[in-house]
Structure 1
Amino acid sequence: MGRRLIFSVSLIFVINIIPCFCETPNLPQKYVDSVQTSTHTNNWAVLVDASRFWFNYRHVANVLSIYRSVKRLGIPDSQIILMIADDMACNPRNPNPGFVYNNANQHINVYGDDVEVDYRGYEVTVENFVRLLTGRTQNGTARSKKLLTDTSSNVLIYLTGHGGDGFLKFQDSEEITNQELADAIEQMWQKKRYNELFLMVDTCQAASLYEKFHSPNILAIASSLVGEDSLSHHVDPSIGVYMIDRYTYYALEFLEKVQPNSNRTIGEFLQVCPKRVCISTVGVRKDLYRRDPNKVPITDFFGSIRPTHTVTERINITLANEEDVIEDFHHDHPPAPDIEYKFAPQFPSEIFA
């Protein structure tokens, strides 16, 4: 007796598409040209403050300022991993409990009501950071603490804290080396966890952290070269500490002028802090990056803008013939003589009659 295989086919059909008469934004030409070669479909950000203690207030202000910028430009909290080693908002020395400012004028509280910290305090470790990047989080880790990227993800990684030649300190108790960081990113590439990656580092001797990179599609910028310190910007006398680092200060000055439909590019962003204002020399590495940064919209990494096609007419969708489906299946999987293919009657095909 011949065998019979019953195939259960799950199909999703859009029965009716309601016309959209929303006003379409007039996108800049640079953006239109770039999305034709960009293959990413989603954006993620990993923002890390690796330092501790009250006198490092500026590092928390650094990371929260970048966090505020990427959220404003469209990346949702569900796709932002925020790691803060010390909670300055609740530090007993903070004269403004619940507030963190990034400038002495105290115009913007970067620790607002909608801040979602994913890793806090002693959770900010080298192990957790590497596990996060490589997708090797421990069993029981909350979904919100995972970097759920794929081969179509553009990933922004921002690191701030205290660094040296070839390492970044975590909480003054351990460090990640540039080789370990390069190995973690190579794992990401081999496991198809990113499309393009943009690394920003604001530490002393920051450029040493990207020296060992060899994976493709990586663009990196550092606030200082090897042998140079990355300096703070200014002090708030009412708080008694430095408010923000120089590089991040000027990076934010640029980002604050960027809108979702802006024509500003990554190439412009790479020049935001010349030595006359940064004092340190900003390092850039782009030999691993396949696109021209001057033609890449800044929203490719700091925003979440997707090219869309608006349909204003009805679309007629018909069910494929069962015989055609079986014929295609036979083409790829030649059947044995005693096997009969049959579709299980589960899809309401009568609605297409």
Structure 2
Amino acid sequence: MKFAAALMLMLMLPLIACGRVPLDKPEGGEIWAVLVAGSDGWYNYRHQSDICHAYQILKANGIPDDHIVVMMVDDIADNDQNPYPGKIINHPSGDDVYAGVPKDYAGRHVTVENFFKVLRGDANGLQGIGSGKVINSGPNDRIFINMDDHGSPGLFCFPHENMMANDFAKLVKELKQDNKFKEMLVYMESCYSGSMFQDLFPDDMGFYALSAASPYESSMAAYCSGPLATCLGDLFSVSWMEDVESKDPSTELLKENFEITRTRTDLSDVLQWGQTSIENEVVAAFMGGKGSNTSPVKKYTAEERKATAVPSQDVPLITLQNQLKSAKNLEEKAHLSNEISALNKRRSLVKHVMEKIALTVSGDEKLVKELMTKRQEKITAWDCYGDAVDAFHNNCFTLGKSTYALTVVPTLLNMCEAGYSTNAIVEATKKVCVFPTMHNAY
């Protein structure tokens, strides 16, 4: 026995010396994945493109379809504005990433409730909904979650509703208590995505996450200069995926993927959360281990990638401007110019509405500017903030479809953290937003 133990130690020493922990595959341990694009509409092409690309990577790495759940509205591939019907690309010279992607939950089935049921393994609750596929994970299993959409402090958008960070954290802790996973890895692409994890996850529960941005900033869209008028991907997402594709996942550490992704995503602050020691495991532990290395696309330099990137909230404007540049006649140019003008008016309305809400609540014009601009270091008033977000979402602007409105949501947080009552904020949204709830304030 002593000889066997010594021999094993000798075999492991080269791996330990270079920082690579052998892939732990306990008996019965499996990999499960949930891929979520929470948006819809042509302007949000990149979210479904990212998720489709992630699926192709997992599939190529040997994870079977019955262990991958995909949630996306699925309105891009056959969109009237798509010059390549039935196809989606994630890179200017990339191949189709849409082919073969399961549409487990599409259209109206892309909801927070269904996402939670999928993770809980609630097959009964999903009978007759989409594919009904769920995560049937156990205590030795690993779960990889990749989510792409818009966000604001402490929330991640779905098409018609919002997932609050404290609710997501509560779910993950519930899953851990129910022995639904050994380890969980989350890659989240959204503005303010760091706020979805900040102070919410202990460092000893097997949960590890990367956020595309800090709790205080926008994330960045990428490949916004062609061949389509809109952005093909998100900078964080294409960075981690193009790295994974070019490496052997059985030898690359999550730490290496993080460092490369952080370097390439240099227009926002990519951060780690939770049990960061998991970074010493190999990528294959969560994404499969075949390592096809099949990425055929031209690699962009850091300068080229940065030149094609824009803040996420500006994608609708950039898309219209790109379309205007390529307009073929005066009539089309006039139409697009009017669209740009209307977009800018809606943006002005968003700011005006939030200013009026803040004034109604505070009653002090001098305080309004502070409430509109102050940066909160963390979220503590979760109950107030959740109710305020719901009121603004239901009475003023549907946040998942009115992405510019997300830029003023921090004002709601500032009011809650300043001690103003939930009722005062909710009533202010009703008083100010006398117009029908808007779905296009992007």
From 64, 73, 84, the equivalent of 2:72 is 84
Specify the alignment match of 2:60 in structure 1.
Answer: 72
Inter-CA distance 276–268: structure 2 relative to 1 (3 Å threshold): closer
Specify the alignment match of 1:119 in structure 2.
Answer: 105
Given the alignment of the two structures, is residue 274 of structure 1 paired with residue 262 of structure 2, yes or no?
Answer: yes
Given the alignment of the two structures, is residue 153 of structure 1 paired with residue 138 of structure 2, yes or no?
Answer: no
The residue identity in structure 2 corresponding to 1:243 is: L
Inter-CA distance 228–38: structure 2 relative to 1 (3 Å threshold): farther
From 152, 157, 162, the equivalent of 1:175 is 162
Report 1 or 2 for greater relative contact order, CA contacts < 8 Å, sequence distance ≥ 6.
1
Specify the alignment match of 2:212 in structure 1.
Answer: 223
Specify the alignment match of 1:235 in structure 2.
Answer: 224
Deviation at 1:210, TM superposition (A): 1.4
The answer as to whether partners of 1:51 and 1:86 remain within 8 angstroms in 2 is no
Specify the alignment match of 1:57 in structure 2.
Answer: 45
Q: How many residues align?
A: 271
Specify the alignment match of 1:293 in structure 2.
Answer: 279
Inter-CA distance 76–304: structure 2 relative to 1 (3 Å threshold): farther
Specify the alignment match of 1:135 in structure 2.
Answer: 121
Distance in 2 separating the partners of 1:99 and 1:139: 29
Inter-CA distance 222–121: structure 2 relative to 1 (3 Å threshold): same
The residue identity in structure 2 corresponding to 1:301 is: F
Structure 1 unmatched runs, 5+: 1-27, 306-353
Secondary structure, counterpart of 1:81 in structure 2: strand
Secondary structure, counterpart of 1:66 in structure 2: helix
C-alpha distance after superposition, 1:238-269 (max 9, x if no partner): 42100101011111121111335x41111111
Percent identity over paired residues: 26
Distance in 1 separating the partners of 2:195 and 2:42: 26
Distance in 1 separating the partners of 2:286 and 2:56: 14
Inter-CA distance 161–154: structure 2 relative to 1 (3 Å threshold): same
Secondary structure, counterpart of 1:103 in structure 2: coil
Report the TM-score when normalising by structure 1: 0.71
The answer as to whether partners of 2:138 and 2:179 remain within 8 angstroms in 1 is yes
Deviation at 1:147, TM superposition (A): 1.1
Given the alignment of the two structures, is residue 200 of structure 1 paired with residue 187 of structure 2, yes or no?
Answer: yes
Compare the two structures and name the one with the higher helix fraction. Answer: 2
Per mean C-alpha deviation after superposition, the further-off stretch among 244-253 and 209-218 is 209-218
Secondary structure, counterpart of 2:51 in structure 1: helix
Secondary structure, counterpart of 1:249 in structure 2: helix
Give me the CA root mean square deviation. 2.3
Structure 2 unmatched runs, 5+: 1-13, 291-442
The answer as to whether partners of 1:265 and 1:298 remain within 8 angstroms in 2 is yes
Secondary structure, counterpart of 1:88 in structure 2: coil
The answer as to whether partners of 2:30 and 2:142 remain within 8 angstroms in 1 is yes
Larger radius of gyration: 1
Report the TM-score when normalising by structure 2: 0.58
Inter-CA distance 90–225: structure 2 relative to 1 (3 Å threshold): same
